[in-house]
Chain A
Amino acid sequence: MNMNVRIPQPDRCIACATCVAVCPVAQNCPDFPGPRMMGPARQRFRLMGMGEDEASHYCANCKNCDIACPGDVPVSAFIMRAKAEICKKNFPKLRDWILAHGEVLAHCLRFIPAVFKNFGMTFAPARLLLDAIGIARKASLPNFAPQAFRARLARLAQPNLSRAVVFFPGCFVDTYEPESGLDIVAVLNRAGYKVIVPGTTDDSGAFVCCGLPMVANGFWQDARDNARRNLKTLAAWAAKGMPILTACPSCALMIGKDYAEYFPALIAPGQSSSLVDVCDFLIGCVERGELALPAAPQKVETVFYHAPCHSRALGIGLPGLDLLREIPGIQAEYADSGCCGISGSYGFKKDKYPIAMRVGAPLFEAMRQSGATLCASECGTCRVQMRHGGGKQTVHPVSVLRRYLG
């Protein structure tokens, strides 16, 4: 007899209310009925054909409910499916389309110089226009980089190395923060790995956006299309036995866990669609002696570290923090202040901006209290929010490492 009884959804929920206790949105937005009500409880009524509750748009998909659930209920997945159903029935907002399709948008705008694009993001009348379609005027939107990460990497001469890794850059690094990506490439080169970004450093099929922003905004089919493309590319590289790294915990979570949850039919039997967290990989490099760390400098610098919720959800500990702690001369201070509030594009929305700022308040306060001048976090939009709310320079942990490697 099977002892590990596989209890189907939504039967695993026993209404213990733990998810309600940890949900940052429910804490800061009384109109959100909370993860249990919107997820497994609601699911029983969905099966009765009772339609969706509009309040699901309040869910930020931060996944704290999934992390806290003692019964492995895929709480956030229920709510994401609900969003998709609503999106199918009602014509979605232009704003949501834009935020869900940052990659497509960036591609369309690629011939417009970044200066103009960024001017549009700061220029007051332009912000009024964005405000009119529902993007918060106060939110600090990330700046378009003059040249995308992939374009810069294509021109970068990497040393000739025998070992190689594949890198999934993710939209944020590619469009807004190529420097983080280049830092990662430099450190990996230093550890003896050439970095392959499919379609950039070679002419194989390129990765596309992981699809998480699409799911979070209700564009289920678009996310599914992207998932299919990425899975194909991933399978080809995995067949070559090549580690596939990413620096973005949300991409890692989407591809490594949520693809199977959302689109089980796309996963071939036996296929593992895993991305390796770059910090986790680098710790391995240090342990294997592939990456030598410099001797401790005279002056010890404190770095304030915030763990993105999606990093915590990966179930692999906090490799970003562990990596910082490996670096001689770095004193890593762990924020432990919960969610930053941004949740991808959530905090940019006009109606969600105040919620996001309330959610992030404890983190911002911790940043202000900290003596550190430099902060670190793996997630791109977390970094945007930390700079916006906490007012301090914030980088990817690997960028900190690169500075120390020189």
Chain B
Amino acid sequence: MQQTRIVVIGGGATGIGILRDLSMRGVPAVLLEQGGLANGTSSRFHGLLHSGARYAASDLHAACECIEENTILRRIGRHCVEEFEGLFVLTREDDPAYVAPWLAACARAGIITEEISVEEARAREPALAPDIRQVFRVPDAGVDGFRLVWHNAESARRYGGEVRTYHKVTGIESVNGKITGLTVCNTLNRESYPLACEYIVNAAGPWSGEIARLAGQRVDITPDRGTLLAFNHRFTSHIVNRLHKSADGDIFVPHGSITILGTTSAQAKNPADTTPTPEEVLRLLSLGEKLFPDVWEYRILRVFAGNRPLYTPPDHDAGRGASRNFVIVDHEQDGLAGFASIFGGKLTTYRLMAEKMTDLVCAKLGVATPCRTAGIPLAAQPARATLERAGRRLPAHGARLVAERLGDQFPKIVNAPEQDSGADLLCECEMVTRAEVELVAADPTTHFLHDIRFRTRLGMGTCQGTCCSLRAVGVLSKSGVAFAADPRTALRTFLQERWRGLRPVLWGAQAQKCEFNRALYGATLNLNGADDEAD
């Protein structure tokens, strides 16, 4: 029987952070993820690396954690963090009385704020509403959730950690109130196998309630759906927040080549319920226009939703009222040793959450090695020569993008032989080359086209997969990647996911784009039609 010391359940930022921490402390661990890495909440948020200013007035403790972790992540995750600033903007509709206490709270939390004139703010961000009243700079930043998880995973693997994606936990076994192992189903080949371990960490985000139930335990968690819009271009180079008590539709975050508007808050039916509604979209836009009046006219790439795993003890509010703090539950108190759950919190504090959780596990196992995750970067900066070499193969700006995406694996594609450099651009919108797709496809955690998308941004730009997905499947057929053996299914699954994000926003340029996409795959390539001679 397979065995390990620790099993971490959940391939989001928290789980992968715990795996990295455990691995760096030399504790053998396996991470199990039911889907692809970062396919849950860690990729379904606005991409804001909080300065803490958003929580300062309501939760000083959370604000302090944010600013500390913000500073650490800028240091260790330079590939994943975009160092723009945040602006807090008091619009016509916001209460000026909120400003003074907010400023005081920020100061207490150690968050540096600086007021700039409305003129200066509008000179920096010309698309901002002309009738805003006050603007403050804060040290917010952007973070790429996909990339953060990937780079953590790679780092963890270098320290000996193991990641198994598309492995679903179907049973948790214990003897005499002590964990002995679990049953895992490989969802790709539907084979189940037992895995023995000493300790299980439940970091399954919105699914952690389900996991706890498998162990006969209970956690007070409510999946809370937040809907977000991704726009085709960057119309702001700052993160723009409304200066008021946190509410819906009040954050714009530039994210690579796009801009994201978030969010809403509504109790989800279940952890997998991530289908946004057209009403949510219209609501977001009508709220967003207070900051950016032209928001109705910007082209929407897609709408998506994620579920916050909110901690909701029986006598507390769900939704906006619920705490954004994280919670660690040691189930030994409830009679099950070797099992702990972690949930709540924010992506910004994922590292801290991982540190606390790992501290607990290590204490139980008697491991005394201290946490080192705050000091060691996730990936090394690329050498200048490597960047220059890449610049000759890629369009001028492509090299930097690829270097940041691939982290430590970047030199591999740059040092490929000249005669087969793989520099053909499969995705022109996000500058993804064949070499990059082949590299990611060869990773043991890659099993679907969307795993490649998460890691490379293939299909996430202007064309939303219209041009690149056919090319990617073609390339993968050639390199013998298993999931491309049935190109039609691979393509349909991928395009279908893109379509899901466009259905609620079918107007303007989105309607134009969808007609083009359908014309290509339906009318020209007949991806869907019955074939008179197919087997």
Contact surface of A with B, Cβ cutoff 8 Å: 5-8, 10-17, 33, 36-37, 40-41, 43-45, 47-54, 71
Contact = CB atoms under 8 A, between A and B. Distances in A.
B396 A11 contact: no
B472 to A, nearest CB: 15
Interface string B374-409: 000000000000000000000111001000000000
Interface in B433-481: 461-463, 466-467
Contacts of B396: 50-54
B516 A14 contact: yes
7 contacts: A8-B235, A14-B462, A14-B509, A36-B428, A52-B396, A53-B395, A53-B397
Counting chain A CB atoms within 10 Å of each CB, the highest count among B234, B462, B507 belongs to B462
Does more than half of chain B's interface fall in helix, strand or loop, or is it mixed?
A: loop
A44 B299 contact: no
Contact of A14 (B237, B257, B463): B463
Contact of B428 (A6, A14, A41, A49): A41
B265 to A, nearest CB: 27
Interface in B231-256: 232-235, 237, 256
Contact of B233 (A5, A11, A33): A11
A10 B429 contact: no
A171 B400 CA distance: 44
Contact of A6 (B297, B397, B461): B297
Nearest to B233: A44
Given A43-B233, A44-B461, A47-B233, A5 B298 contact: no
A12 B462 CA distance: 10
Contacts of B257: 44-45, 47-48
A302 B234 CA distance: 55
A20 to B, nearest CB: 10
A51 B508 contact: no
Minimum-distance CB pairs A-B, first 9: A11-B299, A50-B397, A15-B463, A47-B234, A5-B508, A44-B257, A53-B396, A14-B513, A11-B232
B333 interface: no
A77 to B, nearest CB: 16
A44 B513 CA distance: 17
Interface of B: 232-235, 237, 256-257, 294, 296-299, 395-397, 400, 428-429, 461-463, 466-467, 507-509, 512-513, 516
Chain A interface mostly:
loop
Contacts of A15: 428-429, 462-463, 466-467
Nearest to A6: B297
Given A15-B429, A47-B237, A51-B397, 19 more contacts: A5-B509, A7-B299, A8-B297, A11-B233, A12-B299, A12-B509, A14-B512, A14-B516, A17-B467, A36-B428, A43-B233, A44-B232, A44-B234, A44-B257, A47-B257, A50-B400, A53-B395, A53-B397, A71-B509
B232 to A, nearest CB: 5
A243 B467 CA distance: 48
A40 B516 CA distance: 17
Contacts of B462: 10, 13-15, 40-41, 44
B515 to A, nearest CB: 9
Contacts of B297: 5-8
Nearest to A43: B233
A50 B294 CA distance: 24
A170 to B, nearest CB: 35
Given A16-B516, A47-B234, A7 B395 contact: no
A51 B397 CA distance: 7
Contact of B256 (A11, A41, A48, A51): A48
A36 to B, nearest CB: 8
B143 to A, nearest CB: 16
A8 B516 contact: no
Contacts of B298: 7-8, 11
Nearest to B430: A44
A54 B237 CA distance: 24
